[in-house]
Amino acid sequence: MKALVAVKRVIDYNVKVRVKADNSGVDLSNTKMSINPFDEIAVEEAVRLKEAGVIDEVIVASIGPKESQEQIRAALALGGDRGILVVSDEKPYPLQVAKILKSIAETESTDIILLGKQAIDDDNNQTGQMLAALMGIGQGTFASEVKVEGDKVNVTREIDGGLQTVSLALPAVITTDLRLNEPRYAKLPNIMKAKKKQLDEKTPADFGVDMTSKQEIIKVVPPADRKAGIKVGSVDELIDKLRNEAKVI
């Protein structure tokens, strides 16, 4: 079986973002970029399935600017076998990304397609679901456990209020939640080896996908500042403030 893992180049999750003064977007110049944390978990799961003998090959794909090859190389250093970079100058939106991934998944005949549940930049949480719909296959979103059994995969999902397990016919799309696994760190020799692994470069046109979206971001503003708080000296003072000033208890 083959696995396809999609990774996105995003701002590092520890960086405090700054909105540009002209409200056109978020300032990403000179900012540390990384693999989206949920995608790292997807890579880890694919590599673990390979180590367990379920998967034979792990293909890593990314759609975005040319620099996204850094994120593909990072995923290859974690155990991916080869990469496909689809270079897009336009901002990739979930529907267009899903269409490209569908093409790749079908051309490569992948059985398990792993994505993060959401990218921490746009916070959309859409691409995996859209991909499953376009392919007409099952989806296991927000996965905290994945078990392949024959031609099916059982996915335990994190839902509001608890856990739900669904059984999916393969091929299937799985999106990862934080609890699925603890991603490993890349070792230096593996980083060196990853440089030699195959990385094909494509364009959206190769897949017949037009990247223009019918969504337009009109402006981006910082969230309203909270008014400065005060330090209270004791529990009594806190209770007094909550009762008489904030009137919330």
- Interface residues for another protein in 43-72 (CB under 8 A)? none
Q: How far is the CB of 9 from another protein (least distance, A)?
A: 14
Q: How does 176-205 read in b/e, with b if 16+ C-beta sit within 10 Å?
A: bbeebbebeebeeeeeeebeebebeebebe
Decide whether 190 or 207 has the Cβ nearer to another protein: 207
**How many amino acids of this chain bind another protein (CB under 8 A)?**
81
> What is the Cα 44 distance to its own chain's centre?
12
Question: Widest CA span of the chain, in angstroms?
Answer: 68
Of 178, 197, 203, 207, which lies in the binding site for another protein, with binding defined by CB under 8 A? 178
Q: How far is the CB of 73 from another protein (least distance, A)?
A: 25
Binding window for another protein (CB under 8 A); candidates: 1-9, 57-65, 171-179, 190-198: 171-179
Decide whether 196 or 227 has the Cβ nearer to another protein: 227
Backbone angles phi, psi at 55, to 5 degrees: -110, 140
Q: How far is the CB of 104 from another protein (least distance, A)?
A: 16
Decide whether 72 or 172 has the Cβ nearer to another protein: 172
Q: Are 171 and 135 in contact (CB under 8 A)?
A: yes
Decide whether 79 or 128 has the Cβ nearer to another protein: 128
3-class DSSP assignment, residue 142 = strand
Q: How far is the CB of 196 from another protein (least distance, A)?
A: 35
Q: List binders of another protein among 100-139 (CB under 8 A).
A: 117-118, 120-134, 136-139
Distance CA(92)–CA(67), nearest Å, equals: 14
Tokens standing for residue 211: 């990247």
Of 94, 104, 174, 183, which lies in the binding site for another protein, with binding defined by CB under 8 A? 94
Residue 244 found at the interface with another protein (CB under 8 A): no
Residue 22 found at the interface with another protein (CB under 8 A): no
**Cis? peptide before 223, omega within 30° of 0:** no
Of 54, 72, 97, 142, which lies in the binding site for another protein, with binding defined by CB under 8 A? 142
Tokens standing for residue 156: 């335990």
Binding window for another protein (CB under 8 A); candidates: 45-53, 82-90, 162-170, 201-209: 162-170
Residue 43's H or E segment, with its range, is helix 37-51
Q: List binders of another protein among 194-213 (CB under 8 A).
A: 213
Contact residues for 200 (Cβ-Cβ < 8 A; gap 6+): 82, 83, 84, 85
Backbone angles phi, psi at 133, to 5 degrees: -65, -45
